[in-house]
Amino acid sequence: MTALDPPTFPLPARYEYAGKTLAGGQGKVYVCRDKNLERQVAIKALHAIGNVAVILKEIAAHGKVKSKHVVELYEVLADASGTPYALVLEYVPGDSLQDIANLPPSFEKRLRLLYQIACGLCDIHDAQVIHRDVKPDNMKVDEDGVLKLFDMGISNLDSTTAVTTFAAGTPVYRAPELHGPPPLPVSCAADIYAFGVVAWHVLNSGKFPGPLFEVPPQSSGVPLPSLQIVVAELGAHAAILDRTLEVKPTDRPTAEDVRRALAELLTRGKRRGVFAYGSRTWELVVVNRVTQISLGALGTLSVAYNGLRFVVRAVAGDIYINNRVAAVGDELPESCVLTFGAPAFAGNRAFVAFNASQPEIVI
pLDDT score, position 3: 57
Active-site annotation holder among 34, 123, 133, 151 = 133
**pLDDT for residue 23 is more than 90:** no
Overall average pLDDT of the 11-37 stretch:
91
pLDDT digits (tens, 9 = 90+) for 116-137: 999 999 999 999 999 999 999 9
Closest CA to 285 of 269, 275, 274, 272: 272
Say whether pTM exceeds 0.75.
Answer: yes
pLDDT digits (tens, 9 = 90+) for 155-166: 888 777 667 656
Overall average pLDDT of the 292-307 stretch:
96
Please state, in angstroms and rounded to a whole number, the distance separating the CA atoms of residues 281 and 219: 57
**Number of alpha carbons in the 13 Å side-chain half-sphere of residue 198:** 29
Query: In the chain, what are the domains?
Result: 2-90 (3.30.200.20), 100-266 (1.10.510.10), 273-356 (no CATH)
Rg of the chain on CA atoms, in Å = 26
pLDDT score, position 159: 72
133 is catalytic: yes
Contact between 12 and 21 under an 8 Å Cβ cutoff? The reply is no
Please state, in angstroms and rounded to a whole number, the distance separating the CA atoms of residues 20 and 315: 67
pLDDT score, position 49: 55
